[in-house]
Protein backbone atom coordinates (compact mmCIF):
# COMPACT_ATOMS: atom_id res chain seq x y z
CA UNK A 1 0.00 0.00 0.00
CA UNK A 2 1.22 3.48 -0.87
CA UNK A 3 0.02 6.78 0.59
CA UNK A 4 0.21 10.21 -1.07
CA UNK A 5 -0.54 13.48 0.72
CA UNK A 6 0.16 17.18 0.15
CA UNK A 7 -0.60 20.70 1.36
CA UNK A 8 -0.61 20.04 5.10
CA UNK A 9 0.82 23.52 5.65
CA UNK A 10 2.22 22.28 8.97
CA UNK A 11 2.64 25.07 11.50
CA UNK A 12 2.71 25.38 15.25
CA UNK A 13 -0.52 27.43 15.12
CA UNK A 14 -2.47 24.37 13.88
CA UNK A 15 -2.09 21.68 16.58
CA UNK A 16 -5.13 19.86 15.11
CA UNK A 17 -3.41 19.33 11.74
CA UNK A 18 -0.12 18.47 13.45
CA UNK A 19 -1.83 15.86 15.65
CA UNK A 20 -3.63 14.31 12.65
CA UNK A 21 -0.34 14.07 10.76
CA UNK A 22 1.49 12.48 13.72
CA UNK A 23 -1.42 10.03 14.00
CA UNK A 24 -1.07 9.17 10.30
CA UNK A 25 2.68 8.58 10.80
CA UNK A 26 2.12 6.35 13.80
CA UNK A 27 -0.90 4.59 12.30
CA UNK A 28 -1.77 3.89 8.66
CA UNK A 29 1.69 4.88 7.35
CA UNK A 30 3.38 2.05 9.30
CA UNK A 31 1.85 -0.55 7.00
CA UNK A 32 2.65 1.54 3.90
CA UNK A 33 5.52 0.62 1.65
CA UNK A 34 5.97 4.31 0.75
CA UNK A 35 4.65 7.70 1.82
CA UNK A 36 4.77 10.52 -0.74
CA UNK A 37 4.46 14.12 0.45
CA UNK A 38 3.86 16.30 -2.61
CA UNK A 39 4.73 19.77 -1.35
CA UNK A 40 3.56 22.51 0.97
CA UNK A 41 4.25 20.10 3.78
CA UNK A 42 5.33 23.05 5.91
CA UNK A 43 3.59 26.42 5.83
CA UNK A 44 7.00 28.08 5.64
CA UNK A 45 10.65 27.02 5.55
CA UNK A 46 13.53 29.48 5.70
CA UNK A 47 16.38 26.98 5.78
CA UNK A 48 17.51 23.68 7.26
CA UNK A 49 19.86 25.66 9.54
CA UNK A 50 16.93 27.53 11.12
CA UNK A 51 14.67 24.71 12.30
CA UNK A 52 12.39 25.55 15.21
CA UNK A 53 11.80 22.96 17.99
CA UNK A 54 8.40 22.33 16.35
CA UNK A 55 9.98 21.59 12.95
CA UNK A 56 12.61 19.40 14.63
CA UNK A 57 9.86 17.33 16.28
CA UNK A 58 8.22 16.76 12.86
CA UNK A 59 11.61 15.78 11.44
CA UNK A 60 12.06 13.21 14.22
CA UNK A 61 8.59 11.77 13.68
CA UNK A 62 9.40 11.27 9.97
CA UNK A 63 12.68 9.65 10.97
CA UNK A 64 10.88 7.15 13.18
CA UNK A 65 8.62 6.15 10.30
CA UNK A 66 11.52 5.80 7.88
CA UNK A 67 13.47 3.75 10.46
CA UNK A 68 10.44 1.47 10.77
CA UNK A 69 10.84 0.59 7.07
CA UNK A 70 8.49 2.95 5.18
CA UNK A 71 10.13 4.89 2.32
CA UNK A 72 9.36 8.60 2.55
CA UNK A 73 9.51 10.79 -0.56
CA UNK A 74 9.24 14.56 -0.34
CA UNK A 75 8.63 17.11 -3.10
CA UNK A 76 8.94 20.86 -2.72
CA UNK A 77 5.85 23.07 -2.74
CA UNK A 78 5.72 26.79 -3.29
CA UNK A 79 5.94 27.41 0.46
CA UNK A 80 8.67 24.99 1.47
CA UNK A 81 10.94 25.05 -1.61
CA UNK A 82 13.89 25.83 0.69
CA UNK A 83 13.67 22.39 2.34
CA UNK A 84 17.10 20.98 1.72
CA UNK A 85 19.41 17.99 1.90
CA UNK A 86 20.16 18.37 5.62
CA UNK A 87 16.48 18.13 6.55
CA UNK A 88 15.92 15.16 4.23
CA UNK A 89 18.94 13.34 5.63
CA UNK A 90 17.84 13.94 9.24
CA UNK A 91 14.24 12.94 8.46
CA UNK A 92 15.19 9.89 6.39
CA UNK A 93 13.36 11.27 3.32
CA UNK A 94 14.28 11.24 -0.35
CA UNK A 95 13.77 14.58 -2.13
CA UNK A 96 11.91 14.25 -5.45
CA UNK A 97 12.20 16.55 -8.45
CA UNK A 98 9.00 18.20 -9.68
CA UNK A 99 7.69 16.62 -11.89
CA UNK A 100 8.66 13.07 -10.98
CA UNK A 101 7.76 9.90 -12.87
CA UNK A 102 7.13 6.87 -10.62
CA UNK A 103 5.58 3.43 -11.01
CA UNK A 104 2.53 2.80 -8.81
CA UNK A 105 0.57 -0.45 -9.23
CA UNK A 106 2.70 -1.28 -12.31
CA UNK A 107 1.53 1.94 -13.94
CA UNK A 108 3.66 5.00 -14.77
CA UNK A 109 2.34 7.95 -12.76
CA UNK A 110 3.46 11.57 -12.90
CA UNK A 111 3.73 13.34 -9.54
CA UNK A 112 3.80 17.15 -9.25
CA UNK A 113 3.15 19.77 -6.60
CA UNK A 114 0.88 21.56 -9.08
CA UNK A 115 1.91 25.22 -8.87
CA UNK A 116 3.79 24.97 -12.18
CA UNK A 117 0.50 23.98 -13.87
CA UNK A 118 -1.18 27.25 -12.87
CA UNK A 119 0.35 29.22 -15.72
CA UNK A 120 -2.43 31.83 -15.80
CA UNK A 121 -1.08 33.24 -12.51
CA UNK A 122 1.56 35.18 -14.40
CA UNK A 123 2.85 37.18 -11.42
CA UNK A 124 3.40 33.98 -9.45
CA UNK A 125 5.04 32.20 -12.41
CA UNK A 126 7.51 35.09 -12.69
CA UNK A 127 8.25 34.94 -8.96
CA UNK A 128 8.64 31.14 -9.19
CA UNK A 129 11.11 31.37 -12.06
CA UNK A 130 13.09 33.92 -10.08
CA UNK A 131 13.04 32.15 -6.70
CA UNK A 132 13.66 28.65 -8.02
CA UNK A 133 16.67 29.30 -10.22
CA UNK A 134 19.91 27.90 -8.77
CA UNK A 135 21.61 31.30 -8.42
CA UNK A 136 18.72 32.86 -6.45
CA UNK A 137 18.43 29.72 -4.32
CA UNK A 138 22.14 29.86 -3.53
CA UNK A 139 21.85 33.52 -2.51
CA UNK A 140 18.71 32.86 -0.42
CA UNK A 141 20.40 29.98 1.39
CA UNK A 142 23.41 32.14 2.22
CA UNK A 143 21.50 35.20 3.46
CA UNK A 144 21.91 35.82 7.18
CA UNK A 145 19.15 34.25 9.25
CA UNK A 146 17.62 37.62 10.23
CA UNK A 147 17.31 38.64 6.59
CA UNK A 148 15.64 35.33 5.71
CA UNK A 149 13.20 35.72 8.61
CA UNK A 150 12.27 39.22 7.45
CA UNK A 151 11.81 37.99 3.89
CA UNK A 152 9.63 35.06 5.03
CA UNK A 153 7.50 37.42 7.14
CA UNK A 154 7.08 39.72 4.16
CA UNK A 155 6.07 36.86 1.83
CA UNK A 156 3.68 35.49 4.48
CA UNK A 157 1.99 38.82 5.16
CA UNK A 158 1.57 39.39 1.43
CA UNK A 159 0.08 35.93 1.00
CA UNK A 160 -2.16 36.47 4.05
CA UNK A 161 -3.42 39.67 2.47
CA UNK A 162 -4.33 37.62 -0.59
CA UNK A 163 -5.75 34.76 1.56
CA UNK A 164 -4.12 32.20 -0.70
CA UNK A 165 -5.11 29.32 1.55
CA UNK A 166 -8.62 29.23 0.10
CA UNK A 167 -9.25 27.39 -3.14
CA UNK A 168 -11.13 30.30 -4.76
CA UNK A 169 -8.08 32.51 -4.23
CA UNK A 170 -5.63 30.06 -5.77
CA UNK A 171 -5.72 30.17 -9.53
CA UNK A 172 -6.57 26.70 -10.85
CA UNK A 173 -4.46 24.71 -13.32
CA UNK A 174 -4.46 25.76 -16.97
CA UNK A 175 -6.57 23.00 -18.61
CA UNK A 176 -4.36 22.72 -21.73
CA UNK A 177 -1.26 22.12 -19.59
CA UNK A 178 -2.60 18.79 -18.31
CA UNK A 179 -2.74 16.67 -21.51
CA UNK A 180 0.42 18.38 -22.73
CA UNK A 181 2.57 17.33 -19.76
CA UNK A 182 0.93 13.88 -19.54
CA UNK A 183 1.71 13.28 -23.20
CA UNK A 184 5.28 14.51 -22.69
CA UNK A 185 5.86 11.98 -19.87
CA UNK A 186 3.79 9.20 -21.44
CA UNK A 187 1.44 8.77 -18.47
CA UNK A 188 -2.31 8.25 -18.12
CA UNK A 189 -2.36 9.21 -14.44
CA UNK A 190 -1.23 12.52 -12.94
CA UNK A 191 -1.29 13.21 -9.20
CA UNK A 192 -0.81 16.74 -7.83
CA UNK A 193 -1.84 19.04 -5.00
CA UNK A 194 -1.53 22.81 -4.54
CA UNK A 195 -4.92 23.97 -5.84
CA UNK A 196 -6.89 22.85 -2.74
CA UNK A 197 -9.54 21.40 -5.07
CA UNK A 198 -9.49 17.66 -4.31
CA UNK A 199 -11.05 15.62 -7.10
CA UNK A 200 -10.48 12.89 -9.66
CA UNK A 201 -10.88 14.32 -13.15
CA UNK A 202 -11.29 12.13 -16.22
CA UNK A 203 -9.80 13.40 -19.47
CA UNK A 204 -8.49 12.33 -22.87
CA UNK A 205 -4.79 12.31 -23.61
CA UNK A 206 -4.40 11.76 -27.33
CA UNK A 207 -6.91 8.99 -27.98
CA UNK A 208 -6.59 7.41 -24.54
CA UNK A 209 -8.62 7.79 -21.35
CA UNK A 210 -6.63 9.43 -18.57
CA UNK A 211 -7.15 10.79 -15.08
CA UNK A 212 -5.89 13.69 -12.98
CA UNK A 213 -6.04 13.10 -9.23
CA UNK A 214 -5.90 16.28 -7.15
CA UNK A 215 -4.94 15.83 -3.51
CA UNK A 216 -6.71 17.97 -0.92
CA UNK A 217 -5.19 20.43 1.53
CA UNK A 218 -5.45 19.73 5.23
CA UNK A 219 -7.64 22.34 6.87
CA UNK A 220 -11.12 21.43 8.11
CA UNK A 221 -10.28 17.81 7.24
CA UNK A 222 -7.29 15.78 6.07
CA UNK A 223 -6.87 14.08 2.68
CA UNK A 224 -4.88 11.08 1.49
CA UNK A 225 -4.65 9.07 -1.71
CA UNK A 226 -4.22 5.38 -1.01
CA UNK A 227 -2.91 3.12 -3.77
CA UNK A 228 -3.33 -0.63 -3.31
CA UNK A 229 -4.57 -3.74 -5.19
CA UNK A 230 -8.02 -2.13 -5.27
CA UNK A 231 -6.65 0.85 -7.18
CA UNK A 232 -6.40 4.56 -6.43
CA UNK A 233 -8.64 5.74 -3.61
CA UNK A 234 -8.83 9.45 -2.65
CA UNK A 235 -10.55 10.09 0.67
CA UNK A 236 -10.95 12.73 3.35
CA UNK A 237 -10.85 12.06 7.07
CA UNK A 238 -11.65 14.07 10.20
CA UNK A 239 -8.83 15.82 11.99
Judged by CB under 5 A, does residue 194 bind Mn ion? yes
Residue 92 touches Mn ion, criterion: CB under 5 A: no
CB of 187 to Mn ion, least distance (A): 21
**Window 30 to 49, contacts with Mn ion (CB under 5 A):** 40
- Binding Mn ion by CB under 5 A: which of 18, 78, 116, 189? 78
Choose one: 17-25, 72-80, 118-126, 208-216; the region binding Mn ion (CB under 5 A).
Answer: 72-80
HEC-encoded secondary structure of the chain: CEEEECCCCECCCCHHHHHHHHHHHHCHHHHCCEEEEECCCECCCCCHHHCCHHHHHHHHHHHHHHHCCCEEEEECCCCCCCCCHHHHHHHCEEEECCCEEEEECCEEEEEECCHHHCCCCHHHHHHHHHHCCHHHHHHHHHCCHHHHHHHHHHHHHHHHHCCCCCHHHCCCCCCCHHHHHHHHHCCCEEEECCCCCCEEEEEEECCEEEEEEECCCCCCEEEEEEEECCEEEEEEEEC
Least distance in angstroms from the C-beta of 159 to Mn ion: 10
Nearest-approach distance from CB 145 to Mn ion, in angstroms? 24
In angstroms, what is the minimal distance from the CB of 79 to Mn ion? 6
77 contacts Mn ion (rule: CB under 5 A): yes
Closest to Mn ion by CB, 70 vs 116, is: 116
Which residues of the shown chain bind Mn ion in the complex (CB under 5 A)? 40, 77-78, 194
Amino acid sequence: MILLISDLHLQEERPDITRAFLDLLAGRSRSAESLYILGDFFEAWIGDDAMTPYQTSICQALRELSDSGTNIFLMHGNRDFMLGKAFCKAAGCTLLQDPCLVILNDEPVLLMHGDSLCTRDEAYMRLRRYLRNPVSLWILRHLPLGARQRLARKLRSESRAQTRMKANDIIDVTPEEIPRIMQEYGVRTLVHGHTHRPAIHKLQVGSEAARRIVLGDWDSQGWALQVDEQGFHLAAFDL
